[in-house]
Amino acid sequence: MRLRVEFTTEPFDLDEAPAHALVAREVVETAELDAVDVGPFGNTAEGSADGVLSAVGALLRRSLEAGANRISLQVSVIEDGIAEGDR
């Protein structure tokens, strides 16, 4: 099974990336994932179920420790390269 996670960390800072956002980026960029897209208002990553779920656990722990006060995420099952909700 392949999964896609979409996530944001808060609070936002438009002038400088906060520590929790940098930590979240590091987590997904160093995880065993196939695709990662990091942006200022949303981030996505795709990979095997084990890879995504492991990255999500680390993302939650480390981002909260780095000062995030809210983390929003959505996990979708991907079939044939298309997330179920995108069909």
Comparing CA positions, the residue from 13, 17, 6, 1 lying closest to residue 59 is 6
DSSP labels, 61-81: HHHHHTT-SEEEEEEEEEETT
Q: Please indicate whether residue 65 or residue 13 has the higher confidence score (pLDDT).
A: 65
Question: Which tens digit of pLDDT belongs to each residue from 68-83?
Answer: 999 999 999 998 756 6
What's the whole-number average pLDDT of the chain? Answer: 90
> Domain 2-86: which topology?
Alpha-Beta Plaits (3.30.70)
For residue 16, is pLDDT > 70?
A: yes
Domain boundaries, the chain: 2-86
In this prediction, residue 84 has a pLDDT band, given cuts at 50, 70 and 90, of low
The SS3 call for residue 43 is strand
Q: What is the pLDDT of residue 86?
A: 60
Question: What letter represents residue 51's amino acid?
Answer: G
Instruction: Count how many residues are written for the chain.
Output: 87
For residue 85, is pLDDT > 80?
A: no
